[in-house]
Amino acid sequence: MGNIRYSKYEGGLDDLDMAELMRMLQDRLMQSGFDRNPFDPDPDYRPTMQDLYDAIAEALINNDLLDERLIELALDADDWMATELGATVRELARRLEQEGYLRPEASGDEPSDGEPRQGTGGGAGPDADPGRATFELTDKAIDFLGYRTLRDVLGGAGRSSLGSHETSYTTTGVETIGESKRYEFGDTLNLDVAATLGNAARHGLEGGRLQLEEDDLQVLQSEYFSSAATVVMLDCSHSMILYGEDRFTPAKQVALALAHLIRTQYRGDTVRFVLFHNGAEEIPLERLARSQVGPYHTNTAEGLRLAQRILTRQNKEMKQIVMITDGKPSAITLPGGKLYRNAYGLDPLVLGETLREVGNCRRHGIQVNTFMLARDPELVAFVQRVSAMTRGKAYFTTPQTIGRYVLLDYQSRRTKLVN
């Protein structure tokens, strides 16, 4: 009988899983303008299909998934997209579309109504100019990026009870925490039998029987879980990419991870997203990944005002604002709608209007948790004042560590006895 020789299986690009390719592309897909021109950001920039092709080729090269011959032929060609490498990259982009991760569009231009103009059959088509044809990430891709970020940031710490926050209260329910208390009117009659009989035994026996009185009743306590309404406020002013590092991309990644955490583990909660810049706007989750920094100032007051309007419509026990920023408030909207700006120091007019909105948050029972990506002394004092006014928290962190702080803070546990 002949010998069988086994060797290591070297899979080709035909075997490449599209989820693995998305993992390789996730940083490029979330870029916020820092890698283009941080001194002249374009808030309306949309990535083109050529950007996608370049990103796929770079990912394949960086992960040693290409034969050197293909790379050499591409480098020697006038147009690398006309080579075998270009054909390979186009095929992988097509597979990403087929598996529902992206949605190509026919043109980089958009109609006046703001709705993207779709190509034939929803795709860009084989003859579309890749330098003009754009694409959008689908809900599947957004969910994937949120999951990846959540797993990368939290790992095992991301696990918690489904759809529930531990709060500062306990109640009488079925799932107990091992402690009991004296029964009060309205409590669920989840009796602690041993403690109840022990109390009754103190009265002694009458006619050979225990005499049970209302004061003898002991009920087991369980943890009280609440639902939360959260608005994530993301600063997309110019400073978020201006000072030698990209701060906005990590902020977007954290927001996506928080959305995934809430949808999968805190089903009763809601999360909404607000971008604040010269003004403020609420954006849906699907627009979050492609949002860009612009040549804007920081109108924190307008962002807080919009977040309050959103939260006051929510019927939740907990209401909070998660504000991610790197700078001081530098603009406000005047009563007539005109923008007042002052980027030098903490302008008393801007500061006063911002703190007025913080006070309104306190009156509405809204907690403001601030995650500051800078450590200037005047900013530290401002953030600490905001946190003190709403009994929120202040974190002074970095783009590399902000995810851990935001997500662990969201899952923080608080305990207190109700009755």
Report pLDDT digits (tens) over 183-197. 777 666 777 778 877
Q: For residues 252 and 232, what is the distance between their CA atoms, to the nearest angstrom?
A: 10
pLDDT tens sequence across 377-390: 888 888 888 988 98
pLDDT tens sequence across 294-350: 999 999 999 999 999 999 999 888 899 999 998 889 999 999 899 999 988 789 999
Q: Tell me the two tokens of residue 382.
A: 């401002």
Q: For residues 417 and 171, what is the distance between their CA atoms, to the nearest angstrom?
A: 8
- Assess whether 341 and 200 both reside in one domain: no
- Assess whether 205 and 240 both reside in one domain: no
Cβ-based neighbour number of residue 33 at 10 Å = 23
- Assess whether 274 and 339 both reside in one domain: yes
Domain count, the chain: 3
Instruction: Answer yes or no: is 89 within a domain.
Output: yes
Query: What residues contact 286, with CB distance under 8 A and at least 6 apart?
Result: 136, 137, 139, 142
What is the per-residue pLDDT for 266? 82
**Cα torsion for 251, 256, 262, 263, to the nearest 10°?**
170
Residue 324's DSSP bridge partners are 234, 371
- Assess whether 26 and 98 both reside in one domain: yes
- Assess whether 122 and 193 both reside in one domain: no
C-beta of residue 251 within 8 angstroms of C-beta of residue 398: no
State mean pLDDT over 128-157. Answer: 77
pLDDT tens sequence across 60-91: 998 888 888 889 999 999 999 999 999 999 99
Average pLDDT of the residues of the chain: 80
DSSP code of 181?
E
Instruction: Answer yes or no: is 5 within a domain.
Output: no
Query: What residues contact 224, with CB distance under 8 A and at least 6 apart?
Result: 167, 169, 170, 171, 418
- Assess whether 192 and 301 both reside in one domain: no
Amino acid at 240: M
Q: Which of 253, 256, 259, 251 lies closest to 234, judged by CA?
A: 251
pLDDT tens sequence across 25-50: 988 888 888 888 888 888 888 888 99
pLDDT band (50, 70, 90) for residue 100: very high
Q: Which of 230, 203, 228 lies closest to 214, judged by CA?
A: 203
Q: Tell me the two tokens of residue 284.
A: 């849906």
Domain residues for 288? 146-164+226-410
- Assess whether 155 and 182 both reside in one domain: no
